[in-house]
Structure 1
Amino acid sequence: MDRHERSLKLVVDHSSTERRVCGLYLITDDGDRLLERVREALSGGVKIVQYRDKIRDYSDRVALGSELKWLCRQYGATFIVNDHVQLALELDADGVHLGQDDGDAVAARRMLGDKRIIGVSTHNLEEALAAQEAGADYVGLGAIFPTGSKDVPRTVGPQMVAQVKAQLRIPVVAIGGICRDNAGAVIDAGADAVAVISAILGAREPALAATEICLLFNRTAPFPRGKVLTVAGSDSCGGAGIQADLKTITLLGSYGASVITALTAQNTKGVSAIHAPPASFVAQQLEAVLTDLQIDVVKVGMLFSADIALALAQALQSYQLRMLVLDPVMTAKGGTELLAKVALNSMKQRLIPACYLFTPNVPEAERITGMEIYDEEGMERATRKLHLMGARNVLLKGGHLTGGTVTDILFDGTTYHRFSAPRTLTRNSHGTGCTLASAISAYLAQGEPLPVAVQKGKKFVTAALRLAQPLGKGHGPVNHFLAAREQAGQSIENQE
């Protein structure tokens, strides 16, 4: 059983009196390449597929429905038929979903028996309670937000989810206009599942879009919340690399695992020696972690050699790890090269196209793109070029530019987001890049959408710089501990 089969367990427990429906619920559309897109979405974590078809004749629905059911079986997902009880029986589906005007739950139960699931669309508490009384196993509630899939007289918002969830004994599936950036509020309100159509099936990469939304469900998990794997070098001084990553991940509330790509002899004054293990040993570390832990986000720092970069790229492909935060560590604070020139080519060819978020600073972006960057306009141009190199999202950090404000720019291929903070004048800035990338990774693993994860990560590293205390004789480290306390809203009056 591979990683995805372990993570895509059947969401309906027929041995329980309360059949559980939870996670990411996909409703099909009428577009081309449906089977291919659904397969991709399933690989990204979809747990329930509802086959909705208003255009095909019955025989074609049976044929397409059979293939969709087969796909669901391959990924351990639940297969639901929309509105048509007879079709659900013929396809031996796991259940049927009924609209308010498309069937009766009591009659459907008589036809389907006790072993299949019945869901009912509702728009308010009264309809939801009636559906529960009629024997529904779950209710679909919406439209939560405005949606382009159908005309709705009004939306009910997350507040209706909370109201209905408080009164029902059965699961609530929220539907209508839900996407990565607003689903968190719906999950916080108590939704057991979120139903989507275009946010996944209309995405350029349905698997990645599904993974993004699936991660949002971690926001309700107990702490440590989410698992982050850091692949980076070891800093014997403790301010950067694996040490900074694990401090950040742990202090912010996630679980951190590690793969060490290099050992460095360094202190606050610089790096005096580097010892890199064979790439085969890095591959063994990756295999040991990834065959045991279900990693949510991979954060990558120092890679050192092309062979190590290749070993990582192969592992990412083998385990279908999509949430990769790539921080291109190239040079230490003292100027020591931490990435061989040939390894840079491997990064460009294999890792940048595989990453979810790429987080270079200005000198690193200049080296990778061949551009010169003097201002925010130049940063924008560089993010576009890096996006064209394959990075899904680019966060270009502006700390190396001049001015009293430090602005980082996030580009997703369409929209620019700016994150600004006052510049902190300090020598104690060792590990800022590692810390920011790790903080973003932790927040992603905890169920924050990307713009929120970046915003929180930026706030954390800004505080870590401001609260940094002198350590050593060179560039001291940032203050992870006090920054985490401040982030959590705890008093630090007696700690400074």
Structure 2
Amino acid sequence: MEIEKRRRLHVISTGQQSREELVKVSRTIHPYIDMLHIREKSWTGEELAETVDELTAAGVPLRKLCIHDRADIASMKHVRGVQLGHHSAPVNLVKKDFPSLKIGSSVHSMHEALLAYEQGADFLLYGNIYETTSKQGKPGTGIENLKDIVMNTPLPIIAIGGISPGQVENIVSTGAKGIAVLSGIFLSENPLEAARAYYKAIHKEVKQHDETI
């Protein structure tokens, strides 16, 4: 299993923008991010496949693309990974039929995290850490719970949920391998500047964190 030491910045589409806007923003921000998640629940397989083509034509590398739920499209279009949720097929079945894909699993508890690990997930999205508009009415799980997940799950943990650039230090201090952002970048007034701010924050904190070891 490949576990990278450097911190990772994942950006997830919001479901609130057109394909054209998604591609336009992605073209500008991709140099500053490590993974672009296409999370569009209402799109057809054809729309997802065409979006991958449009993104690659805009210069976004296939190795930076991850499609939510649709392992078949992810495999056919040769993107890097697929992200699975509670409604998706089990991780072990997807892993068996699509061995070329990096498989992320979205989890919300220690039980779910350990189950995803046992089934062969490559990384986990865990949250929501803080309160967020995308999960209205759902309180954040908090830093201490994130730390427990990191300490007890031998997989790279990507923290998600209401994370601002100023909170990256708290996330990094837990040992999490990175963060995932939705509206903080895609729905910001200036997505490029927002992506740069997250990029600088996560890599600045990595340097400071490493120097204390």
Determine if the TM-score, normalized by the shorter chain, exceeds 0.5: yes
Q: Distance in 1 between matches of 2:33 and 2:162?
A: 17
- Please say if 1:47 is aligned against 2:31: no
Q: Deviations over 1:396-444 (max 9, x none)?
A: xxxxxxxxxxxxxxxxxxxxxxxxxxxxxxxxxxxxxxxxxxxxxxxxx
- The one of 116, 128, 132 equivalent to 2:101 is 116
Percent identical pairs in the alignment equals 23
Q: Deviations over 1:236-261 (max 9, x none)?
A: xxxxxxxxxxxxxxxxxxxxxxxxxx
Task: Give the alignment of 1:386-425 within 5 angstroms.
Answer: none
State the match for 2:2 in structure 1: 18
Which 5+ residue runs of structure 2 have no aligned equivalent?
A: none
Q: Deviations over 1:462-481 (max 9, x none)?
A: xxxxxxxxxxxxxxxxxxxx
State the match for 2:175 in structure 1: 190
Q: Deviations over 1:147-176 (max 9, x none)?
A: 112346432112111111111211001011
Query: Are the counterparts in 1 of residues 38 and 66 from structure 2 also a CA contact under 8 Å?
Result: yes
Query: Are the counterparts in 1 of residues 63 and 80 from structure 2 also a CA contact under 8 Å?
Result: no
Q: Distance in 2 between matches of 1:154 and 1:223?
A: 28
- Please say if 1:92 is aligned against 2:64: no
Query: Are the counterparts in 2 of residues 40 and 207 from structure 1 also a CA contact under 8 Å?
Result: yes
State the match for 1:205 in structure 2: 190
- Classify the secondary structure of the residue corresponding to 1:195: strand
- 1:177/1:89 CA distance change after superposition, 3 Å: same
- The one of 147, 155, 162 equivalent to 1:177 is 162
How far residue 36 of structure 1 moved from its aligned partner, in angstroms, is 1.0
Query: Are the counterparts in 1 of residues 168 and 205 from structure 2 also a CA contact under 8 Å?
Result: no
Look up the equivalent residue of 1:96 and give its one-letter code.
V
- The one of 26, 32, 36 equivalent to 2:24 is 36
Look up the equivalent residue of 1:67 and give its one-letter code.
E
Task: Give the alignment of 1:474-489 within 5 angstroms.
Answer: none
- 1:69/1:121 CA distance change after superposition, 3 Å: farther
State the match for 1:154 in structure 2: 139
Q: Hey, which of these two has a bigger chunk of helix by percent?
A: 2
Q: Deviations over 1:289-338 (max 9, x none)?
A: xxxxxxxxxxxxxxxxxxxxxxxxxxxxxxxxxxxxxxxxxxxxxxxxxx
Q: Deviations over 1:349-369 (max 9, x none)?
A: xxxxxxxxxxxxxxxxxxxxx
Which 5+ residue runs of structure 1 have no aligned equivalent?
A: 1-16, 226-496
- Please say if 1:102 is aligned against 2:88: yes
- The one of 111, 114, 130 equivalent to 1:145 is 130
Query: Are the counterparts in 1 of residues 7 and 206 from structure 2 also a CA contact under 8 Å?
Result: no
Query: Are the counterparts in 2 of residues 18 and 170 from structure 1 also a CA contact under 8 Å?
Result: no
Q: Distance in 2 between matches of 1:214 and 1:184?
A: 12
State the match for 2:46 in structure 1: 59
Q: Deviations over 1:442-487 (max 9, x none)?
A: xxxxxxxxxxxxxxxxxxxxxxxxxxxxxxxxxxxxxxxxxxxxxx
- Classify the secondary structure of the residue corresponding to 2:134: coil
Look up the equivalent residue of 1:84 and give its one-letter code.
R
Task: Give the alignment of 1:38-437 within 5 angstroms.
Answer: 38-43=26-31, 45-70=32-57, 71-73=59-61, 78-113=64-99, 115-151=100-136, 153-217=138-202, 218-221=204-207
State the match for 1:316 in structure 2: none
- 1:84/1:208 CA distance change after superposition, 3 Å: same
Normalising by structure 2, we get a TM-score of 0.87
Q: Which has the larger radius of gyration?
A: 1
Q: How many residues align?
A: 205
- 1:149/1:111 CA distance change after superposition, 3 Å: same
How far residue 77 of structure 1 moved from its aligned partner, in angstroms, is 5.2
Relative contact order higher in (CA < 8 Å, ≥ 6 apart): 2
- 1:79/1:69 CA distance change after superposition, 3 Å: farther
Query: Are the counterparts in 2 of residues 49 and 79 from structure 1 also a CA contact under 8 Å?
Result: yes
Query: Are the counterparts in 2 of residues 22 and 171 from structure 1 also a CA contact under 8 Å?
Result: no
Q: Distance in 1 between matches of 2:139 and 2:188?
A: 26
Normalising by structure 1, we get a TM-score of 0.39
Look up the equivalent residue of 1:40 and give its one-letter code.
T
- Classify the secondary structure of the residue corresponding to 1:72: coil
